Amino acid sequence: MKNTYVAIMAGGVGSRFWPMSREVRPKQFLDMLDNGESLLEMTFKRFAQLVPEENIYIVTNQLYAQPIAEMFPQISSDQILAEPSRRNTAPCVAYVSYKVFQKNPEANLIVAPSDHLIKDEVSFGAIMQKGVDFVSENNSLLTLGIRPEWANTGYGYINFLQEEVSPGIHKVKTFTEKPDKELAKHFLQSGDYLWNSGMFLWSVEAIVSAFRTLMPEMADLFDDRLDKFNSAEEDKAIEVIYSQCRNISIDYGIMEKAENTFVVPASFGWCDLGTWSSLWDESDKDDKSNAVLGANTSLYDAKGNMVVSSSNKLVILQGLEDYIVIDTDDVLLVCKKEEEQRIKAFNADARKDLGDKFV
Amino acid sequence: MKNTYVAIMAGGVGSRFWPMSREVRPKQFLDMLDNGESLLEMTFKRFAQLVPEENIYIVTNQLYAQPIAEMFPQISSDQILAEPSRRNTAPCVAYVSYKVFQKNPEANLIVAPSDHLIKDEVSFGAIMQKGVDFVSENNSLLTLGIRPEWANTGYGYINFLQEEVSPGIHKVKTFTEKPDKELAKHFLQSGDYLWNSGMFLWSVEAIVSAFRTLMPEMADLFDDRLDKFNSAEEDKAIEVIYSQCRNISIDYGIMEKAENTFVVPASFGWCDLGTWSSLWDESDKDDKSNAVLGANTSLYDAKGNMVVSSSNKLVILQGLEDYIVIDTDDVLLVCKKEEEQRIKAFNADARKDLGDKFV
């Protein structure tokens, strides 16, 4: 794709996957599907089918810049954007957008999380092509919406107009936060709602323009230092910018406020792998619906469990149904699947009681 | 106690405590009560209150002779009897009995497992004294019977005559195998039954005489080599004897057949710590009846569990009731308490599937 760049967002921890994901070993570095590749590697490879590798940027926390450089020896250090602190997605998107804008103001940019699963890569490529074609000709902020498969209450939704503005592209009516079960059912039935995937396509000109209009304070920070990008002074400029940046999401800061938001509906087998249950959904399972990652297991009277351990360990479970069993070197977690939203709180309790040892 | 020797039987593995107990780290070496002492150390100390340390013998497997020597630097290597193979309790009792008999034919001998828990050591000492007094004056095989507290189906029982032959000493009518629940209830109600503790008292003359009468083939093996005991040739003699010895228990080989069996009923807070549930019974518990050994735990909606891990590990359990959770370096076991009798089978399955790695 001509003039197209990709920004992979890889700065999070994935704390809902604690204790497998850790500050020093975040979710996107993990071989979550037990196929020998981390989610970040899978994401990089997916985009490397679509654009030249030198057009792929990885935006991450400073903590992870070095391990990422080692993971991708083929890319230059300039392609790894190290954020000095976590400031949610708006500063992160601004950083990579301004950087590409400074380099090539004609460029298009695809922004994508590093930890999503895409099953049908051919259709994914076709959708990306369609999206890039659209944004290269229209001053628009395009999101990728996933046709909902069930009334998931863990995702944000996009309400769109049925009328196509271009083949397969629709105007966004509103973005909505995570709904309750009733509302999610209504969204599913109406046919007017899509899951918000967190993947975006735009020309850098369009997104920079959106920042200038909708988040002028943040835009000023970047515009004032535009000439530092792609220079030896970039890191220093970013230090200063981040120290003054608001902590705000791109959805809240830009997408929900912009007038020129569009969506391309897709159904290429997407999963954001946001929780253990979603990983269980996507994993191979035995005839008792147990999904096992990395461990030797002997399962007796055990059904519907998600089991993760190391291949050096023998895990024997008897009489467990619909549990998450995560065994790492220093933390063992056994928790009902239906209670997995409490894992963040368990992590917080551990931090409170035991300090940073298990974070 | 004059002329009194003690034989601590410490050759087993305690496979019902797998994966915490292992071939190389058997139950009696473990700090099962989290008090800084192994069961074997506790047993040794208990008897060292009653007899001189040089009169305490530890009968064990060759595998464990070296670690036991390191555990008890105060005893001589002659006090550690290393069996070349596991042949059940009859050969083990014969070995130590003949050895003491060769050294001091007037001696009395207390035979006791290494892995039982005794809570009231004062009463224990008084009972031992009473027993030794009796056996030193009577040609008798005396067992220690525990007044049953409930209808346990995991123990053998001793049916005794209420009439005392000497204060606190009764004639044994029969030994019975582990009963079913109904029978165990009947035993409990009748008042004529005691739990078979596996602790014995006798003069070495009486037990050697019993072997000669009731197990003449085995007795011949030992009698033929009596002059080798307590000499440089003892180990070699034992190799030969064990290679020809039957695999048989002292209960089956001697106690159930002898005419001169007596029992001293006791209630000094005894537990054979035979299973995880019995350990749970004996352990300190939190206000939700969870017993935790060695681990940092965070327990949520968790009741009645037995949890064992290392102090380096954080164990988080949510929504578990009446489970055993045993986490070792290389094996994790989660099993309902009521299914704990299957642990031996889990171990056997692991051995079949994965070889000796986790034995």
Per the document, the length of chain A is: 359
> Do B354 and A312 make contact, defined as CB atoms within 8 angstroms?
no
- The dotted CATH code for A4-272 is 3.90.550.10
Q: What is the value of pTM for the model shown? A: 0.83
Instruction: List CB contacts (< 8 A) between A298 and chain B.
Output: 346, 349-350, 353
CB proximity list for A228: less than 8 A, separation 6 or greater? A234, A236, A237
pLDDT at A41: 97
C-alpha A346: how far from its chain's center? 23
pLDDT at B275: 87
Question: CB neighbours (10 Å) of residue A180?
Answer: 10
CB proximity list for B307: less than 8 A, separation 6 or greater? B290, B291, B292, B293, B295, B297, B299, B315, B317, B325, B326
Answer for the pair B165, B171: CB distance below 8 angstroms, yes or no: yes
Q: Residue A355 pLDDT > 80, yes or no?
A: no
Distances (CA, A) of B277 to A35, B39, B152, B339: 40, 17, 12, 10
pLDDT at B295: 82
User: pLDDT tens for residues B84-111?
Assistant: 999 999 999 999 999 999 999 999 999 9
pLDDT at B342: 94
Confidence of residue A275 (pLDDT cuts 50, 70, 90): confident
Question: CB neighbours (10 Å) of residue A112?
Answer: 22
> Do A313 and B319 make contact, defined as CB atoms within 8 angstroms?
no
Instruction: List CB contacts (< 8 A) between B316 and chain A.
Output: 19, 331-335, 346, 350
Residue B274 token pair: 């035979």
pLDDT at B319: 98
Helix B216-223 / helix B204-214 crossing angle, nearest 10 deg: 120
Question: How close, in Å, is residue B309 to chain A by CA atoms?
Answer: 9
Give, as one character, the DSSP assignment of residue A147.
P
Give the three-state DSSP class for A49. coil
Answer for the pair B143, B195: CB distance below 8 angstroms, yes or no: no
Instruction: List CB contacts (< 8 A) between A334 and chain B.
Output: 316-318, 320, 325, 334
Average pLDDT over residues B219-231: 97
Which amino acid appears at position B162 of this protein?
Q
Which amino acid appears at position B127 of this protein?
I
CB proximity list for B259: less than 8 A, separation 6 or greater? none
Q: What percent of chain B has pLDDT over 70?
A: 100
CB proximity list for B36: less than 8 A, separation 6 or greater? none
Q: Residues of B at the A interface (Cβ-Cβ below 8 Å)?
A: 19, 296, 298, 300-301, 309, 312-320, 323, 325, 327, 330-336, 339, 342, 346, 349-350, 353-354, 357-358
Confidence of residue A223 (pLDDT cuts 50, 70, 90): very high
User: pLDDT tens for residues B252-295?
Assistant: 999 999 999 999 999 988 988 888 998 998 899 999 999 999 88
Instruction: List CB contacts (< 8 A) between A353 and chain B.
Output: 298
Question: How close, in Å, is residue A297 to chain B by CA atoms?
Answer: 9
Q: Which residue of A has its CA nearest to B358?
A: A314
Instruction: List CB contacts (< 8 A) between A350 and chain B.
Output: 298, 314, 316
Distances (CA, A) of B165 to A185, B142, B161, B254, B260: 82, 12, 9, 21, 12
> Do B316 and A333 make contact, defined as CB atoms within 8 angstroms?
yes
Q: Residue B74 pLDDT > 80, yes or no?
A: yes
> Do A327 and B331 make contact, defined as CB atoms within 8 angstroms?
no
Instruction: List CB contacts (< 8 A) between A313 and chain B.
Output: 330-332
Instruction: List CB contacts (< 8 A) between A332 and chain B.
Output: 309, 313-316, 325, 327, 332
Q: Which residue has the higher pLDDT, A355 or A57?
A: A57
Domain(s) labelled CATH 3.90.550.10 in chain A stretch across 4-272
User: pLDDT tens for residues A329-342?
Assistant: 999 999 999 999 99
pLDDT at A110: 98
* Strands of the A291-293 sheet, one edge to the other: A291-293, A306-308, A323-327, A331-336, B314-318, B296-300
Q: Which residue of A has its CA nearest to B301?
A: A335
Question: How close, in Å, is residue A277 to chain B by CA atoms?
Answer: 16
> Do B350 and A316 make contact, defined as CB atoms within 8 angstroms?
yes
Can you tell me the distance from the alpha carbon of B84 to that of B340, in angstroms, rounded to the nearest whole number? 30
ipTM for the whole complex: 0.83
Which of A14-28, A189-203, A331-345, B112-126 is the least confident region?
Answer: A14-28
> Do A318 and B334 make contact, defined as CB atoms within 8 angstroms?
yes
